[in-house]
Amino acid sequence: MMADDTKKDIRRSVRAAIKAMGSGDKESQAALLCSAALEHPLLQSARVVALFAPLPDEPDISHLIGTLYEKCTVVLPRINGDTMDFYPYSPHSMSSGSYGINEPQGNEPVAPSAIDVMLVPGVAFTRGGCRLGRGKGYYDRYMSMAGFRAYRIGVCFAQQIVEALPVEEHDIRMDEILSFCANQ
């Protein structure tokens, strides 16, 4: 129970920090993230990249989605009950799904083993790769699936980096964290 209370407190604190950000700061940090991602050697050579349709409190990676769509197969998550699968992205196949998130409407999900690189959103991250999600466990369950081998990059605003997070057995660590302060 103690870890749940701590997670709740961290989520509340980080959400307040994001809410306090100006739109210019959010835009400039998102632009820096997208630029760095496009320069990332693993993203440059990837054939299948898993991204996410950003929520208002997440970095807007829409530019990244559009740019990578021209170079490789981009897949985005779609929620179905307690499971999340990734489907090929097309600008014309998106519609509002679970939690009001834009989701691709393809028929066939991509196998977890087909994904080379996955950019993962979260509420908070440590520099060492620990991640705190929204609490439903979709990403941890997906990244635990048989055959999943993608390089995991946590993507966040600088305000989402914390010193430490409570870690549980099922929590999946990121291989790398991509985050920038707009005035670096």
pLDDT for res 1: 41
CATH number of the domain that 87 lies in? 3.40.50.10420
| 184 inside domain | no
CA dihedral 48, 175, 97, 123 (to 10 degrees): -160
| pLDDT the model gives residue 3 | 62
The pLDDT tens digits of the residues spanning 114-166 come to: 999 999 999 999 999 999 999 889 999 999 999 999 999 999 999 999 999 99
Inside any domain, residue 28: yes
- Region 98-117: mean pLDDT is 90
- CA–CA separation, 99 and 12 (whole Å): 19
Has residue 113 got a pLDDT over 70? yes
* pLDDT at residue number 182: 54
Residue 48 has pLDDT above 70, yes or no: yes
* 3-state SS class at 21: coil
Tell me the C-alpha distance between 98 and 79, whole Å: 6
The range of the structural domain enclosing residue 90 comes to: 2-178
SS3 of 92-139: CCEEECHHHCEEECCCCCCCHHHCCEEEECCCEECCCCCEECCCCCHH
Tell me what pLDDT residue 105 has: 87
What percent of the chain clears pLDDT 90, i.e. is strictly above it? Answer: 77
Query: Is the pLDDT assigned to residue 2 strictly greater than 50?
Result: no
Mean pLDDT of all residues in the chain?
A: 92
Q: Which structure tokens are listed for 134?
A: 């929204």
Region 88-107: mean pLDDT is 86
User: pLDDT confidence of 17, banded at 50, 70, 90?
Assistant: very high
* pLDDT number for residue 18: 95
Q: Is residue 183 part of a domain?
A: no
Which residue matches tokens 């080379």?
A: 116
- For the chain, how many structural domains are there in total? 1
Q: Residue range 19-32: average pLDDT?
A: 93
Answer yes or no: is 128 within a domain. yes
Whether residue 124 is contained in a domain is answered as yes
For residue 181, the model assigns a pLDDT of 66
Question: Could you count the other beta carbons within 10 Å of the beta carbon of residue 70?
Answer: 7
Average pLDDT rounded to a whole number, residues 63-81: 94
Region 33-51 average pLDDT: 96
Residue 169 has pLDDT above 70, yes or no: yes
CA 114, CA 22: separation in Å to the nearest integer?
38
